Structure 1
Amino acid sequence: MADAIVVGVRLVRALGLVVGRVSRRVSAVITPLGWVMLFAVPIAFVLGYQLGWIELVAVGFAGSVLIVVAALYLIGRNAVRIELTVPHSRVVVGERATGVVTVTNPVRRRIAGVKVEVPIGTGLAELAMPSLDRGASSEHEFVVPTARRGILSIGPVRTVRADPVGLVRRELVWTGAVQLFVHPRTIGIPSTSTGFIRDLEGNPTRDISNSDVSFHALREYVPGDDRRYIHWKSTAKTGTYMVRQFEETRRSHLVIALSLATANYATDEEFEMAVSVAGSLGARAIRDARNVSVVVSEKTPEFAKRKVLAVRHLNTLTRTRLLDDLSVVEHAESALGILDVARVAADEVIGISVAFLVCGSLATPTELRAASTKFPPGVEVVAIVCDPETVPGLRRVAGLSVLTIGFLEDLQKSLARSAAA
């Protein structure tokens, strides 16, 4: 009895798996119109014969013929070979991007034309391929929309077999999906435009150090000074131990903080410009082999008890990886504003020499001044305000330079003016 129950349970479970698999495949093939027809035909026969309505019987037979014809369209498989080619894996927003679908007939007989569908992000490209003779192939180029930043998933390519009425639809997948990164637009910034950035090869700082490479002055020896820096000639002249004093030089560490808070931007155009500004600054710093950190606001999860004070560090190993990360950033209501981003960045990044705060026109001067105070003394803070409705300008307050740009191209001249100032 126990063995019989076990065998019965296993048979029921196996039957359930088979039925579930068949039902999923059937539901994927039959369209909503097809389901309506499957329910309408039996009802037409029953009502037609019971009520004596010849018209309903005729409708039932006509529907049966349509169902049989639709089922015949599902028989067989297109003997073709399909390839998807996307020439470039990364493009700049607005650039022309294309893909190519190649259909080849590998069999001896002639095959009829097929309908090919290529999903592109949330859109769909439909291609009608012609009939192909033995060994022939056909290429069809399609355009990929790149009006917005992001990662577009192209494919998989599928062929569609469907009846003329639309009762059934069978999709066959032939290729995998390809990802296309749409990068933000960036501009080239000369290294001289960041002349206020201090490092070992540039200008020394005004901070005094007991050991460095830039000589400043001599002073009397005090206990604890390194004897290696005693200046013996001056000591012999004065009769008192004299040690060298240096101006401190340090390797520059740039921080580019991008606010993702919707409250800091009046329009989406401002936000896109801010992303381009962050990408341009980061790409220039990476090219100059400088230490750079690019951080963006972290978002507070829904229903959280308190605001999440954190930032997300983007990949700055190469220019391409940085732009890949910037391709997917989006503003949000729950993201940290520029003040909180500056506060967290100042706490997490060590050795900052220059900080760029990138935001929109809705960030007030009071917020920007408060954000600049979050960084340690001696850090050069530059706030870049993206406002397409204003004239480019430069304002300087204590410890803060505010650059307002109306176009991305204004960034280069504005940075040069800031460096000169």
Structure 2
Amino acid sequence: MSGAPRSTSIAARLRGGRLLSRSSRAYRLTAPLRLLTPLGRGVLVTGLVASGLSARFHWQEFTQLAAVALGLLVLGLLWQLLPGGLVVGLRLRHERIVEGAPAPAASLEVQAGAVPMLFPRVLVPVGRRGVGLRLPFLAPFSRHTEELHLPELARGVHTVGPVTYEKIDPVGLVSRTFSTGPAVELRVSPRVTDLSVFAGGLTNDLDGATSQQLSMSDLAFHALREYVPGDDLRHVHWRSSAKAGELLVRQYHETRRGHVTVLLDGARQSYPRQADFELAVSVATSIALRAVRDDFDTYLRCGPHLSRSRAPVAMTDAACRFALGGDDHLEHAADAAQAVHGTGLVVQVTGGQRPLPDLDAAARLFSREADWLVVRADSAAEPFLRDSGTLRELSVPDLARLAELLARGLR
């Protein structure tokens, strides 16, 4: 009884292996046919029919027709064996754009090979789409530059390229497709709005406790050390240098800067509409950009994608990759609370369907000295600002209202 299923499994594997072997042989046998264009297949059928009629009726006209048709096919196949091909370099005018802005132009720098190419067709993949164009006649080893306009793209990271081109014989019977050059990434960042300077709750944090990290320019004096080439001469302590007979420079403790933590909820069930999530991405990115412009250490996260920096480009690059996924908001809030110590402001950006107790539980993972703010992106709700227990909550129906509501919420 126990041996029957095993023998059945072995037989199934053998049948599967035979099917794979047959399919691979069929693939190799039909490979030359797949190189033929529709015109090439028509010429092949014409040649075979003419050959049959010539053998049947011994008509000289059919013999000549079959010879011409099959001869053209052989020449087309030999054309594909000739060395040389296109080398296409793809260059984007801008690798970062904002959603809604005109798509950047791409420049194609074409280097022809040893074989002339008659108006080759080039295809440039752009994400899941593609942009095709027909190049002019290319003489051997000629150079050509072509401008290409990309389609409008949604927020995200889009792969552009690699460029593919079609090598076809002069008659148009046999065609092969080749890829050339590397692919490049085009980052489309979300729409943002300019916000006012952060106020309430963050002033004390700017004066924070000194860290153990040494710096060459800060407030807390630490010690003197020997001068190293490249040090700023403004930090030379001339009186001590005169006594020691060598240059000594001041060294400082780096004081702790203000921290802003922005957590974007990436759970699908938090947003009744896809547009609400895109609004939430714009809201979170706008807040993060305001924080880094105010020289705060900023932590921005949504799902597995995060950025911890003072650089605006780091925030927008991270926001390009934000996407809806599972409900792991509380887990990521715990990671942020461990990674960021002494944060002065925690902003949770979510949708209209996230329960408030979940947000309160995430906020309690951080220091009680931090300010807690919840921003709901809900295009179907009226704007409001209210205090819900320990959290201050505001609802934003569109990006234009964010500056006004946030200014009231941070007072």
Normalising to structure 2: TM-score of the pair?
0.66
1:295 paired residue among 301, 313, 319: 301
State the one-letter code of the partner of 1:257.
L
Moved more, 386-395 or 74-83: 74-83
For 1:68, what is the secondary structure of its paired residue? helix
1:325 paired residue among 318, 321, 334: 318
Number of positions where the alignment pairs a residue of Structure 1 with one of Structure 2: 338
CA separation in 1, counterparts of 2:310 and 2:360?
Answer: 31
CA separation in 1, counterparts of 2:54 and 2:116?
Answer: 47
2:346 paired residue among 348, 351, 355: 355
Aligned counterparts, 1:22-421, within 5 A = 30=35, 64=70, 67-68=73-74, 70-76=76-82, 82-96=88-102, 97-103=104-110, 112-131=118-137, 138-162=144-168, 168-191=174-197, 193-199=198-204, 251-298=257-304, 313-332=306-325, 334-336=326-328, 338-420=329-411
CA separation in 2, counterparts of 1:32 and 1:106?
Answer: 22
Match of 1:233 in 2: none
For 2:203, what is the secondary structure of its paired residue? coil
CA separation in 2, counterparts of 1:79 and 1:32?
Answer: 19
CA separation in 1, counterparts of 2:171 and 2:118?
Answer: 19
Distance verdict in 2 for CA 1:393–1:36, change over 3 Å: same
State the one-letter code of the partner of 1:99.
A
Deviations 1:11-69 (A, max 9, x none): xxxxxxxxx9xx699679736979999998999899999999x9xx9999898467436
Match of 1:240 in 2: none
CA separation in 2, counterparts of 1:141 and 1:103?
Answer: 11
**1:399 shift after superposition:** 2.0
In 2, are the aligned partners of 1:28 and 1:170 still within 8 Å (CA)? no
Match of 1:12 in 2: none
Distance verdict in 2 for CA 1:416–1:162, change over 3 Å: same
CA separation in 2, counterparts of 1:315 and 1:39?
Answer: 63
CA separation in 2, counterparts of 1:142 and 1:418?
Answer: 46
CA separation in 2, counterparts of 1:387 and 1:168?
Answer: 56
Q: Percent identity?
A: 24
State the one-letter code of the partner of 2:368.
P
Tell me how large the CA RMSD over aligned residues is.
Answer: 4.5
Distance verdict in 2 for CA 1:132–1:74, change over 3 Å: closer
CA separation in 2, counterparts of 1:28 and 1:184?
Answer: 47
Structure 2 residues without counterparts, runs of 5 or longer: 1-24, 210-218, 220-254
**1:379 shift after superposition:** 2.0
Distance verdict in 2 for CA 1:161–1:391, change over 3 Å: same
**1:357 shift after superposition:** 0.4
In 2, are the aligned partners of 1:372 and 1:399 still within 8 Å (CA)? no
Deviations 1:87-109 (A, max 9, x none): 111111222122122446798x9
